[in-house]
A and B are shown apart, each in its own frame.
Chain A
Amino acid sequence: MSFDNAYEAITESNDERHWAFGTGFDDPLSGVDRTIPSGVDRADLTAYCLMLGDDALILSQRLAEWCSRAPELEEDVALANIALDLLGQARMLLTRAGEVEGAGRDEDALAYLRDEPEFRNVRLVELDCGPGPGGDFATTIARLLVFSSWRLALLDRLGTSRDPVLAAVAAKGVKELAYHRDHAAQWTLRLAGGTDYSRDRMITGLRTVWPLVEELFTPHDIELRLAAAGVAVDPATLRSEVDGVLDEVLSAADLDRPDVPGMAPVAGRAGRDGVHTEAMGFLLAELQHLARSLPGATW
């Protein structure tokens, strides 16, 4: 075997020795106990898995929109990689939601056949940051910085959940989110410290996403009940850690925390209750239309 050329080494034989970590991709949840923890309401646990799964699914869709349209080829791949990490988390969480619900819905049914009011993602992830009209790269980075800082803190605590599946998904996700946060922080520093123009765009991006930050730390009744049962994380407890991370990045970038009012819930209800912004319908139309137009289609 020759190691003069990495691609020769890849194609030369079926020998797996040249892959640093091999090619055997195991199910990340293999061997994980899938029983539902005692004393936990099934409907609550189903809804909670949908909350965390929908956050990942919808942001994955938003990031995938950049595919082939990012400012540079390298960034195109980076955003798609992050989208794929989140899609992987969404699949495990939606599968768990369907399993706990016990009504025979699998990950595909939950992703493609639910209507907007049944989606429980926070509104931050559905915000249209582009690449189409009205969106831009800096806003995408601002959203990713906030979201990944928040989700990393959340998954870090969820690792000790009494639900073994949630704990396993969280343990896997922490490594992924740490990279997403790093990517967003690196770009925040560069856009803020680049030209006057890039700095203005970064400031505008932060102001665009900031009204949706408050919702991230507003606990839903289901989250509070499950947190009391040792299964979920009360998002209000994440505030000081996430604030600390964001303050560190913003101060390194010499940026101020935007002073903008939060987007109010609608009659006390927001994303976690299935009440979304107008961007959500368009997003779901694109996400779901193929599966709904050709029911049961396979690749």
Chain B
Amino acid sequence: MTRSSWPLYEVFVRSKRGLNHVHVGSLHAPDPEMALRNARDLYTRRNEGVSIWVVPAAAITASSPDEKDPFFAPSGDKVYRHPTFYAIPEDVPHL
């Protein structure tokens, strides 16, 4: 009996209504439906979430660490793009 490993899925959990889904980790599963159930068992057993997304890791196109400078460095000196001239109200926690 040969063993082939299950595909990898990335898991995103929304901890509360109104917040966005956040990447929490990855897992193996035979198919998307089981990935959702495995995610429920692995990542929400301590009340972490109200909603789960699973995405096949192979479906994600990621930026490469080698391209870090051309990708991200040019935005580092553009202070005028940041809203630093506004006062942020204290009771707006997730701005």
Q: Measuring CB to CB, which residues of chain A are less than 8 angstroms from any residue of chain B?
A: 1, 3-7, 9-10, 17-23, 72-75, 77-78, 81, 182-183, 186, 190, 197
Contacts and interface: CB of A to CB of B under 8 A. Distances in A.
A20 B38 contact: no
A6 B93 CA distance: 16
A23 B38 contact: no
Given A3-B22, A6-B22, A78-B41, A19 B29 contact: no
B49 interface: yes
Given A190-B31, A190-B34, 6 more contacts: A72-B6, A74-B29, A78-B37, A78-B41, A186-B33, A186-B37
B1 A197 contact: yes
B16 A78 contact: no
A6 B13 contact: yes
A18 B16 contact: yes
A186 B23 CA distance: 25
Given A1-B93, A72-B28, A74-B27, A6 B48 contact: yes
A156 to B, nearest CB: 22
Given A3-B94, A4-B22, A197-B1, A78 B38 contact: yes
18 contacts: A3-B15, A4-B22, A5-B22, A6-B24, A6-B48, A7-B24, A17-B16, A18-B15, A18-B16, A19-B46, A20-B15, A20-B49, A20-B50, A23-B47, A72-B6, A72-B28, A78-B38, A197-B1
Contacts of A21: 47
A60 B41 CA distance: 16
A120 to B, nearest CB: 30
A183 B6 CA distance: 18
A20 B28 contact: no
Contacts of B37: 78, 182-183, 186
B25 to A, nearest CB: 8
A22 B41 contact: no
B19 A3 contact: yes
Interface string B46-68: 11111000000000000000000
Given A6-B15, A9-B15, A19 B48 contact: yes
B7 interface: no
Interface string B73-91: 0000000000000000000
Contacts of B49: 20
Contacts of B13: 6
Contact of B42 (A4, A74, A183): A74
Nearest to B13: A6
B20 A3 contact: yes
Nearest to B1: A197
A182 B28 CA distance: 19
A1 B19 CA distance: 13
Contacts of B28: 72-74
Nearest to A75: B38
A156 B45 CA distance: 24
A198 to B, nearest CB: 10
A251 B27 CA distance: 30
Contact of A20 (B20, B33, B47): B47
